[in-house]
Amino acid sequence: MHTEFILMTTLKNYLSLIKFSHTIFAMPFALIGFFLGFSAIYNDYTTGEHGLFHLFENIHLLTTFGLVVLCMIFARSAAMAFNRYLDRHFDAKNPRTAIREIPAGIISHRNALVFTFISCMLFISCTFFINAICFYLSPVALFVILYYSYTKRFTALCHLVLGLGLSLAPIGAYLAVTGEFAWLPLFFSFAVLFWVSGFDIIYALQDEEFDKANQLHSIPSILGKNVALRVSELLHLLSAVAVIFAGWYGKFGYWYWAGIAVFVGMLIYQHSIVKPNDLRKVNIAFMTANGIASVVFAIFVLIDLFLH
């Protein structure tokens, strides 16, 4: 019983280290990419037959689906653990982040680095069993998501690098199914790029003064809160344009456009509750609004793919 308690506590600590709950941001878009690829191959639009009904009969596709989910988990785990490892000294100095696992002494920085390495190896192993192109591109994906942790040290464009890392989810999942590039999943990748960059700027508002004092770069620390929020709004406008264009290009139906209404509505909502002089609702904007935006939008997209 004591051993089980230790294992559960350790698991809880590592899930907290990597903020596992934040997987909710990118995972829905990975599912969109997967099922875009699936429908491109298996839907028969001449007969109206939807390949989804045969998904559970195809062991290869079910395996690929599971591997895509694991890739998302391992890639994000590696990125978050490495970020916590690299930023441990800054986190210890920042009152907002001093309670994180490494500065608080709950997880050692060496164990966090080992966890990062294991997650990277598991990610690459999963891509090996998907297809050749995913395997060959896996080091590129890892480079992008790990490199992000360095960027705040020299560029305020760090938010865009984070967005780029998460934007690999839709196109990566599409490649896992089809083995080929296509424009439609790329539009969703652009949507993720601008969406994530925009809400990361909102989150960074909390550390404007700390970043300035420690020579760390971010849009808020360089431009100030007011202009930073305007930049975030512009990025979210571009994200909305990307999903709208994807809907037009992909000839989606009513369910998709209903999903866009929710997605855009959540973007507007988060900007309505965060003010330069009032950051009390940043976490609601960051977690709740964006979590609803990604999950609900993905649900409507998948419904449209197989009912339209």
Helices (H), ranges, 87-108: 88-93
Q: Does residue 16 lie within any of the structural domains?
A: no
Q: Does residue 1 lie within any of the structural domains?
A: no
Q: Does residue 20 lie within any of the structural domains?
A: no
Q: Which residues pair with 275 in a beta bridge?
A: 278
Note the pLDDT of residue 296: 94
Which residue range(s) make up the domain with 253? 29-307
Residues with Cβ within 8 Å of 124's Cβ and at least 6 positions away in sequence, in order, are 135, 138, 139, 142
Any idea what the CATH number is for the domain that residue 201 is in?
A: 1.10.357.140
Q: Does residue 24 lie within any of the structural domains?
A: no
Residue 23 is classified by DSSP as G
Q: Which residues of 195-206 are buried (b: 16+ CB within 10 A; e: fewer)?
A: bbbbbbbbbbbb
Residues with Cβ within 8 Å of 49's Cβ and at least 6 positions away in sequence, in order, are 43
Q: Does residue 4 lie within any of the structural domains?
A: no
Q: Does residue 5 lie within any of the structural domains?
A: no
Q: Mind listing the pLDDT tens digit of every residue in the chain (308 residues)?
A: 566 766 778 878 887 787 777 777 789 999 999 999 988 776 554 444 555 656 666 777 889 999 999 999 999 999 999 999 999 999 999 999 999 999 999 999 999 999 999 999 999 999 999 999 999 999 999 999 999 999 999 999 999 999 999 999 999 999 999 999 999 999 999 999 999 999 999 999 999 999 999 999 999 999 999 999 999 999 999 999 999 999 999 999 999 999 999 999 999 999 999 888 888 888 877 778 888 899 999 999 999 988 76
Tally of structural domains, the chain = 1
Q: Report pTM.
A: 0.92
Q: Does residue 166 lie within any of the structural domains?
A: yes
**Residue 239, amino acid:** S
Q: Does residue 6 lie within any of the structural domains?
A: no
What are the tens digits of pLDDT across the range 177-222?
999 999 999 999 999 999 999 999 999 999 999 999 999 999 999 9
